[in-house]
Amino acid sequence: MNKRISEFIDSKRDDIINDIRALVRIASVRSKEKDGCPFGEKCAEALNEGTAILDKLNLDNENYDNYVITASLNSNETKLGVLAHLDVVEALDGWSCPPFDVTVKDDKIIGRGVADDKGPAVAAVYAFHAVKTLYPDLKYNARLILGSAEETGSEDIAYYFKKNSPPPAVFSPDADYPLINTEKGRFVPEFFAQLGDKSTEKRVVSFFGGVTSNVVPRIASAVVHGIDFNKCLESALIYSKKTNAEITCSKTDGGDVEFISVGKNAHAAQPETGINAQTALLSLLTSFDIDSDSFNKLRVLNDMFPHGETDGNSAGIKSDDKEFGSLTCSFGTLKIENNTLSGTLDIRFPTIGDGERIKNIITDRFKYNSIEIKKARLSEVHHTPADSPFVKELLNVYEDFTGKKGECLAIGGGTYVHNIDGGVAFGCAMPGVDNRMHGADEFSYIDDLILSAKMFAEVIYDICSGRVGI
């Protein structure tokens, strides 16, 4: 353990918190592309703020067309890459404090992105700052890469690596300690159907559920035409009990019935920990014996992805293996508007090479029911051997600083290094800590971020000094 590095980072505690605050205040949720802003103005603004922080700390940096920014220790051969992101998911309701500001309470900070991934990104920035300040003449270079579209498909990193080769060793601090070397594959289809409902029919006029594929939706709503209100009241009570969601209904000014369903957010990698408001509402609506295209399409979706089932069994895609765990399936978004249905799924699968099989099963079943997959993201299982020198170095550093056993983990979530050969996730959530990533009141313990900065700096120094060979 390098005492000089630890003391240096301890002296920067207030600066670290203030720089996290500056980034959190930018609601860097992906939006419509504009000139010079491939992922929207707020994501570009976050990169600009990141650049200002790097400049302040005298870290040489470069902006790649507002896809990513990078910082380097020196101009020597690059041995290590550290990959973090400055984009975030939306902050939905349920927060006890402003999501786009940092609230400091006792030993933790609260705000959207403090855990995923602005807090860890700043920890990495200060690790680079410490090493460059204390050891300016290292044999090798490390490069920090800060992206802006991890939450929506990682096009930012794909763009960067078209222009630059990945370093031989890369880690991303956007997950859990001790270290993640194995990640499930992921299939995220966007589906579409044109509805044939007539205005005079009993039909679902509108449906709105979820905002992004990788979050279990907490709220969903629907407006239904031509249905008895008293029956709706009765069904709302029954299905609130059945689904554990809170479902209510009311009459609109036009005489239609509006349903509101409230559940519980969760990350799509652990859908079983949430209550999907969208599927809860689907189960209610499809209980009505109504033969119209909108109801029939919803019935197909409900049959394939019933409320409370997260293993894909009803869709015919359930799978397990000992190393990777079980498949998870999260119904992320659903919309009916202007007689058009659209939505997204988030399927995390454990078996190598299983992605194409799952894609074909879902595509064929949708097609049979006149639902089209317009586009889809598919990535197979990611695995880095546990006995690689890089993995051993990271685990050794973790053990030295925490006194806890270092071991490799397999997860359902996809990290920033999923498509990078030899890449692993390293931090920043400590074992047993639920930082509420993608949920309300997302937080990080300040001491955990400070400790992470020290560990990152130790790894950078070990590799770039040549003390540890990669």
Residue-wise pLDDT tens digits, 322-339: 777 889 999 999 999 999
pLDDT of residue 438: 86
pLDDT band at 375 (very low <50, low <70, confident <90, very high): very high
pLDDT band at 356 (very low <50, low <70, confident <90, very high): very high
Class in CATH terms, 3-183+382-464: alpha beta
Q: Can the peptide bond before residue 464 be classed as cis, meaning omega within 30 degrees of 0? A: no
Residue 47 · residue 123 · CB < 8 Å:
no
- Confidence check: pLDDT of 6 > 90: yes
pLDDT band at 267 (very low <50, low <70, confident <90, very high): confident
- Give every CB contact of residue 293 below 8 A, 6+ residues apart in sequence: 195, 196, 197, 203
pLDDT of residue 447: 97
pLDDT of residue 470: 83
Average pLDDT over residues 335-351: 95
- Confidence check: pLDDT of 415 > 90: no
Average pLDDT over residues 354-378: 95
pLDDT of residue 424: 96
pLDDT, tens digit (0-9, with 9 covering 90-100), for 178-196 = 999 988 999 999 999 999 9
pLDDT of residue 292: 95
Average pLDDT over residues 27-41: 96
Q: Can the peptide bond before residue 178 be classed as cis, meaning omega within 30 degrees of 0? A: yes
pLDDT, tens digit (0-9, with 9 covering 90-100), for 275-299 = 999 999 999 999 999 999 999 999 9
pLDDT band at 410 (very low <50, low <70, confident <90, very high): confident
Instruction: Identify the CA nearest to 308 among candidates 277, 286, 262, 332.
Output: 277
Q: Kindly give the pairing relationship between strand 340-349 and strand 103-105.
A: unpaired
pTM above 0.85, yes or no: no
Q: What is the 3-state secondary structure (H, E, C) of the chain?
A: CCHHHHHHHHCCHHHHHHHHHHHHCCCCCCCCCECCECCCHHHHHHHHHHHHHHHHCCCEEEEECCCEEEEECCCCCEEEEEEEECCCCCCCCCCCCCCCCCEEECCEEECCCCCCCHHHHHHHHHHHHHHHHHCCCCCCEEEEEEECCHHHCCHHHHHHHHHCCCCCEEEECCEECCEEEEECEEEEEEEEEECCCCCCCCEEEEEEECCCCCEECCEEEEEEECCCHHHHHHHHHHHHHHHCCEEEEEECCCCCEEEEEECECEECCCHHHCECHHHHHHHHHCCCCCCCHHHHHHHHHHHHCCCCCCCCCCCCCCCEECCCEECEEEEEEEEEECCEEEEEEEEEECCCCCHHHHHHHHHHHHHHCCCEEEEEEEECCEECCCCCHHHHHHHHHHHHHHCCCCCEEEECCCCCCCCCCCCEECCEECCCCCCCCCCCCCEEEHHHHHHHHHHHHHHHHHHHCCCCCC
- Confidence check: pLDDT of 30 > 90: yes
- The CATH topology of domain 186-379 is Alpha-Beta Plaits (3.30.70)
- Listed by start position, the domains of the chain span 3-183+382-464, 186-379
